[in-house]
Chains A and B, each alone.
Chain A
Amino acid sequence: MSVERQKGTISRRQFLQLGAVGGVVAATGSLLAGCAAPNIGGGASGPLKIGVLLPYSDIYAALGESITEGMRMYFESVDNRAGGRPIELITEDEGTAPDAAAQKARKLVEQDQVDLVAGIVSSGVAAALRDYFHDNQKFLIIANAGANALTRAAKSPYIFRASFTNWQPNWPMGSWAAANLGRRAFISVPDYGAGKDTISAFTHSFTAAGGEIVKVQLTPFPNIGDPAPFLAEIQAAAPDFVYSFYSGAAAVTFVKAYSDFGLTGSIPLAGSGFMVEQDVLPSHGSSALGIKSALHWALTLDNAENQAFVAAFAQRELPSGNKGANVFAVQGYDTARLIVEALNAVEGDMSRTDDLIGAFGSAAFPSPRGAFKMDSTTHNVINPIYIREVQEVNGTIANVVLTSVGEVPDPGDNSKDAV
């Protein structure tokens, strides 16, 4: 090795080291500067800072995007003002790990000093953050996470949910299925919290209506893997119908395989509406035809608010290559409206905590889902639930509302759940 070459190597290394050290110093410096920046917040003046904690990476990223766009769309429709204050959104990535999300929540509350936080898709994250918001008396408006417990045992005066509980669509489906689909049901759900909430809500009303659960099948979460053995088990059990709850990629896998196995014609498939929602329906294609499901919204829902929402959302999102209207966008839109309505009621004064709790709890307004009405005892939205069927309408595949079962409030305890 010659001296010259050695020298050359060292100087390049030094260059890289200096670059790396400089980068780290710059990053840390601006981090400190960001931390130390004086914060003005709270009270009734200045911008209303809303922390938006939603997944923008990992498996729930598409949901996070839809909810965010729904929120933005509503805020823009009221000129980004609530209670006389301009709205400022600060978004952070929820990811999927509760500990990382907890750190983001602290960043929003402690550094950005937001007035309230909205968002949260994962029930695991919501459960982990519950105590943080409760103890700090910070308002949290949940825009998706559906774990029943957040409305029941883990209820907090500072936490409101503008989306749904897992119980809400599944419980009404039990009695409807017993009357319309058959008496012998086979349940196939992923093995995690939401899957188990689905089983207990459906089983309670289904058995009360005289139905019988043939078998409960728990599949791996979040990746179902090869669905063939599960479908073979369904075929062998020969039930009147299958009740299930899958979402995202697992829904596509399951529904497609169900059709490929030739089960669609012989054993009807029903379930929670997320299995055939707008985010996965295009991937299902014709394999989803005939699936019956329950949810608090449908694309084809016939009310003026919804038609305006669907058209406006499509006009806003489709040109930039984003998804059209879906239930998550509706939840974001309603979450934003709930915040604006409540802030208007207290004239933008976040310090009137009790009035604010009252305003959130009694909020009611027209929504794409029919009507939005907050339940002041459970702090969970009272959802209108629709039974829908996937049909081909004018050449496109969509959910068509068969019937509405009316307003379904969460019971607030486990009295209407099978153990």
Chain B
Amino acid sequence: MARPPWVPIRALGRHHPAPSVWRATMENNAMRERWEQFTNTGSRWGSLVLVALLAVLPAVAPPYLRSLVIEVLILAIFAMSLDLLLGYTGMVSFGHAAFLGLGAYLLAFFTRSVGANLLQALPVVLLGVALFAVVAGFLALRTSGIAFLMLTLAISQMLFGLAIKWSSVTGGSDGLAVARPYVGIGGATLGFGPDRSFYYLTLASFALAWWLLRRITASPFGHALRGIKANEPRMQALGYRTHRLKLTAFVIAGLFAGVAGMLLAAFNRHASPELFGWAVSGEAIIMVIVGGSGTLVGPILGATLVHLLESYVSSYTELWRLVMGLVFVGFVLFAPQGIIGLLRRRGRPPSEVELAAAIKEPEPAALPKERRT
């Protein structure tokens, strides 16, 4: 490779780049880290600005756009929760819809039997989801890779079958009607009946979920999950109880997906068996991959792009599934790191490795033949 003009010839020495290059590299690294933070879990200011913009949206947006954004925010929570497994821990779950459906159905049961007070419903539903996640995770995490994928798929299909067949409890293929929940303390109640107030419930849930997941992924626990993804045996050798960590991640991801399911059922006022379907799990994987796995901003962008594109294209052509398929294929081929990958490649300064490679890589012709192999 040719020497870049700003690199002095002396700097081509192998182990000791010149001080100027060294400094440039350090500055590059700091900028790069800031950009990566921005495109990874979202910078503090960036996320605050986004949430603030979303908060004023209902004042200017027509109702249909508002309801589209509600769905996007719910799906973003769902996709972020999946990415905790898929992107951070390296566990490809093909049954994440199980938790979405479970959250929806448990809320349906609770609102029908006890009442629609969210302060009562939330802990009960989340406890139910967590218990199921512990049992399901305990079984599924005895395996990894393809076997884990198949087991999670089987677990979600099992719930799908149960929702369809046990019609005296689940309403069968017709599903169950769900009341819009409210928050009530004593005599004071805050209702979410109109879509405008439900929008703010969804936005608050989204912001809280994003913030919590940022804290979780930045914590030592989150770093341990990334360690497991990189090299699980090494993590075990270092003394981490990886099975327990993975189970915890599975339960946390299940809880966030359960919240998304509750919101979705409350928004549609209905829980249907299709929520458990493998198509829902598959779509969440597409959102994560299109957005960029191993990040939180990626699933948010992925959910936005996939859902808006789907709603938009399907109004114009019956072949919308073909369009969605082509978009997915396009991303996998040309942007395997998703939207996040595109942003990073475009916006960031060269990394240390790239800079060093530009400096150090010797001309192939200069090498003796035997060293080139």
Enumerate chain A interface residues (CB-CB to B < 8 A): 1-3, 13-14, 16-17, 20-21, 24, 27-28, 31-32, 35-36, 56-57, 61, 92-93, 95-99, 102-104, 106-107, 110-111, 123-124, 127-132, 135, 147, 149, 191-193, 196, 221
Contact = CB atoms under 8 A, between A and B. Distances in A.
A191 B167 CA distance: 10
Contact of B268 (A16, A21, A111, A128): A128
A279 B307 CA distance: 33
A93 B320 contact: yes
B173 A35 contact: no
B308 A28 contact: yes
Interface stretch (B64-72, B200-208, B209-217): B64-72
Interface string B338-369: 00001001100000000000000000000000
Contacts of A191: 164-165
B330 interface: yes
Contacts of A57: 314, 318, 320-321
B164 A192 contact: yes
Given A61-B318, A124-B175, A102 B270 contact: yes
Q: What secondary structure prevails in chain B residues at the interface with A?
A: helix
A32 B65 contact: yes
A75 to B, nearest CB: 21
Given A24-B309, A99-B274, 6 more contacts: A35-B61, A102-B268, A123-B173, A128-B270, A132-B269, A192-B173
B173 A124 contact: yes
Contacts of A27: 308-309, 312
Contacts of A106: 63-64, 67
A61 to B, nearest CB: 7
Contacts of A127: 171, 174-175, 270, 272
B177 A107 contact: no
Interface string B81-104: 000000000000000000000000
Contacts of A192: 164, 172-173
A131 B111 CA distance: 15
B174 A124 contact: yes
Contacts of B171: 127
Contacts of B174: 123-124, 127-128, 147, 149, 193
B315 A107 contact: yes
B264 interface: yes
Nearest to A90: B315
B235 interface: no
Nearest to B179: A131
B186 interface: no
17 contacts: A17-B335, A24-B309, A31-B65, A35-B64, A57-B321, A98-B175, A99-B268, A99-B272, A102-B270, A106-B67, A110-B64, A124-B173, A127-B270, A127-B272, A128-B175, A128-B268, A191-B165
B277 interface: yes
B311 A35 contact: no
A193 B167 contact: yes
Interface string B47-65: 0000000000000011111
A95 B308 CA distance: 17
B339 to A, nearest CB: 9
Contact of A93 (B165, B318, B335): B318
A131 B268 CA distance: 9
A332 to B, nearest CB: 17
A21 B334 CA distance: 13
B270 A131 contact: yes
A215 B171 CA distance: 24
Contacts of A135: 269
Given A17-B342, A27-B308, A93-B320, A3 B1 contact: yes
Contacts of B346: 14, 17
B330 A20 contact: yes
Contacts of A123: 173-174
A35 B264 CA distance: 22
A110 B318 contact: no
Interface string B155-178: 000000000110100011111010
